[in-house]
Structure 1
């Protein structure tokens, strides 16, 4: 897809901020908060406990950082199921980096069965949330997809967009494109 087409596509997708909700949290709302696990080994247990508590309390950045902690395996043995779980939680809150990592895991089959359709959809969501890297990754995934897979992914994204527009129309009692 050329740059103009990608820009147009992203522009359309930017209209999707409320369509995929988990409770009151949209997939497209960036998360705030931070915990750091880059600490001295003797301080790691306390830092990990604080980060885990923040993640349990719903801090998407903490969820992402825990996912990275278990994904990279540098300070603990690599635990892909744990990483996947934390990335999913952060993704549901619109954390673009977590969505990018999650889409990449689906594409490569890391901790889950490889699934190009799921990878493509999640990577497009990450792109909507501001991850330029995810847009490039989605393009790479699309090259690997069969035509039928790309059609399914496009249908899902289209349905998400239609549902969002209907929600806007109902909420505003008119056209979502009215001034």
Structure 2
């Protein structure tokens, strides 16, 4: 029964995602462009500069890659505030992996105070946008939430979707 309910939820989330793409909602648009942060060490500062410029000009994938670059700490020292900044930039434009990572950061309290409600909301948005692992992560977060926190998160998500549906309805109306 739980699996069937989960599949139904996933199907509804996928349907909302399709509606989102049709309506042009900026929170739900996938990113496609890239920046190259796999440069040789001598060229890495310039690659980061170019990627930051692209991200600042609206390249959502570049913003995500910068977030990942600063979060992983593999090619540069780990910098969680910078990672969060770039994940937030990409997340606001609907990048599902950025939303997932940002939700994890809110859950763990990485560079921000831990906030299960915010984590749950962002993770659900990531799931809507197609991040496969986001539903599982949201489930783990919900297991740690009090009943009142889950109710607040559900109300916020409901309001987000109501607003979205209203935007879809009015988008097709003549002005």
Q: TM-score, normalised by structure 1?
A: 0.87
User: Which 5+ residue runs of structure 1 have no aligned equivalent?
Assistant: 19-23, 174-179
Which residue matches 1:66? 66
C-alpha offsets along residues 51-106 of structure 1, whole Å, 9 cap, x if unaligned?
11111111111001111111111222211111111000000111000000000000
Aligned residues: 170
Of 35-44 and 130-139, more deviation after overlay is shown by 35-44
User: Aligned pair in 2 of structure 1 residues 157, 69: CA closer, same or farther (>3 Å)?
Assistant: same
Q: 1:123 touches 1:135 (CA, 8 Å); kept in 2?
A: yes
| Deviation of 1:48 (Å) | 1.1
Q: Which has the higher helix share?
A: 2
Residues in 2 aligned to 1:130 and 1:85: alpha-carbon distance in whole angstroms: 22
Q: TM-score, normalised by structure 2?
A: 0.89
Residues in 2 aligned to 1:99 and 1:137: alpha-carbon distance in whole angstroms: 12
Residues in 1 aligned to 2:98 and 2:2: alpha-carbon distance in whole angstroms: 26
| Deviation of 1:26 (Å) | 1.1
Residues in 2 aligned to 1:61 and 1:171: alpha-carbon distance in whole angstroms: 27
Which residue matches 2:16? 15
Taking the TM superposition and a 5 Å limit, the aligned residue runs for 1:17-166 are 18=20, 26-166=26-166
Aligned residue for 1:15, secondary structure, equals helix
Q: 1:97 touches 1:131 (CA, 8 Å); kept in 2?
A: yes
C-alpha offsets along residues 10-49 of structure 1, whole Å, 9 cap, x if unaligned?
333342655xxxxx86111001100121221111122111
C-alpha offsets along residues 91-138 of structure 1, whole Å, 9 cap, x if unaligned?
011100000000000000000000000000000000011111111100
Residues in 1 aligned to 2:109 and 2:41: alpha-carbon distance in whole angstroms: 31
